Amino acid sequence: MLKSLFFLLSLYLCVLGFQNPIKASDGSDPFMVYHEGYYYLTTTTWNNIQLTRATTIAGLKAAQPKVIWTDSTSSRCCNMWAPEIHWQDKEGSWYIYYSAGSSGTLDNQRLHVLKGSSNIIWDSNWSFAGRIVIPNRDVWSIDGTIMILDSTRYLVYSSWDGSDQCLWIAQMNSATTVGNAVKISTPTLPWERVDSNVNEGPAAIYHGGRTWIVYSASGCAGTGYKLGRLELTGSNPLSASSWTKYANPIFVGANGNNEPGHNGFFQSPSGNQIWNVYHASSSVPSTCDGKRYTMIQQVNWNADGTPNLGSPRPLSDNMPEPV
């Protein structure tokens, strides 16, 4: 009796659905993962790392975030950006990858890692697991994400090369150590060079045996922020020539949701759907701050097997819960 009541209730909640945004402020650089009955959401809040969790997207909108990390160590106290939660199979632990640096400047941003103490994300106490030192270029680095290919793991992140902020890849030797980095994308196309020359916020997506890196292009302040993509078309991900950039962006502003970007991908509870979580701004030009809100929508697939992210849907849309 109780069981069927719960079933009916969850069915009702699914039909009811939700409306974007799912986080109305401090929704920048979002990342989500679904694990053991809960969605987990993290975003950039600058001074700390916060997690929010709930069993439904509608529930996530109402849930209180929990601060899981602050740090007074001067080299990584501040500008905490773009946390991502990743399970590392070899270590059998959850890790949070994030960017941070020192007070009063953005020039010292580096990649850092926290380790969870429990297999349940929410129950974890988080401890500092290390800074990711890139052997061949220990310089400004942000937006680390994990790409997994045939059970080999790679770190993909963003770092400057001259006046271009580029994407780089390195093979991981452990959850916190990597080999030398190789540059796989430079902002060369006009739509990657609006306000500033930027490729950042990489996110891997896999489908039908193919792998893409979706990334954010152009300056986050201004009118040009959007998503582009690379596809792994060669065999060695550590070779720049293995990556092919698509000539056109894959996701641009629409319906009052401007400068959409810095996305992540997460699987629905059944594992049968992939959803895009990203931030957008109501203002033009947009600003690189906490006014950006978090949105989600389902990823579809084109007849040729490529991802179709659509365009940012109106905030007035009632969307069904992921299934």
Ligand X SMILES: *[C@@H]1O[C@H](CO)[C@@H](O)[C@H](O)[C@H]1NC(C)=O
List residues with catalytic annotation: 29, 200
Contacts of 66-74 with CB under 8 Å at 24 or more apart are: 66/122, 68/96, 68/114, 68/124, 68/126, 69/96, 69/114, 69/126, 71/100, 71/128, 73/128, 74/102, 74/103
Which of the stretches 115-123, 137-145, 194-202, 305-313 binds ligand X when contact is defined by CB under 6 A?
Answer: 115-123
Nearer to ligand X, 124 or 263 (CB): 124
| Shortest Cβ 86–ligand X spacing (Å) | 18
Nearer to ligand X, 120 or 221 (CB): 120
Q: What are phi and psi for residue 180, nearest 5 degrees?
A: -65, 150
Q: How far is CA 155 from the centre of its chain?
A: 13
Which of the stretches 1-9, 36-44, 119-127, 300-308 binds ligand X when contact is defined by CB under 6 A?
Answer: 119-127
Binder among 73, 105, 125, 188 for ligand X (CB under 6 A): 125
| Shortest Cβ 64–ligand X spacing (Å) | 19
| Shortest Cβ 292–ligand X spacing (Å) | 32
Contact at 8 Å (CB) between 141 and 165? no
Sign of CA dihedral 87, 48, 126, 129: positive
Nearer to ligand X, 36 or 107 (CB): 36
Nearer to ligand X, 28 or 124 (CB): 124
Q: How far is CA 85 from the centre of its chain?
A: 9
Degrees (nearest 5) of the Cα angle 239, 244, 249? 135
Which of the stretches 105-113, 118-126, 270-278, 281-289 binds ligand X when contact is defined by CB under 6 A?
Answer: 118-126
> Per rule CB under 6 A, is residue 236 in the interface with ligand X?
no
| Shortest Cβ 2–ligand X spacing (Å) | 29
Nearer to ligand X, 107 or 123 (CB): 123
Residue with the CB atom nearest ligand X in the bound state: 117
> Per rule CB under 6 A, is residue 36 in the interface with ligand X?
no
Nearer to ligand X, 117 or 255 (CB): 117
Contact at 8 Å (CB) between 32 and 14? no
Binder among 117, 136, 180, 287 for ligand X (CB under 6 A): 117
62 CB burial (10 A radius; 0-12, 13-18, 19+):
exposed
- Residue from 271, 262, 263 nearest 297 by CA: 263
> Per rule CB under 6 A, is residue 123 in the interface with ligand X?
yes
Q: Is 1 helix (H, G, I), strand (E, B) or coil?
A: coil
Kindly report the three-state secondary structure assignment for every residue of 83-114: EEEEEECCCCEEEEEEEEECCCCCCCCEEEEE
Binding mask 47-76 for ligand X (x = CB under 6 A): ------------------------------
Q: Which residues would be at the binding site for ligand X (CB under 6 A)?
A: 117-118, 123-125
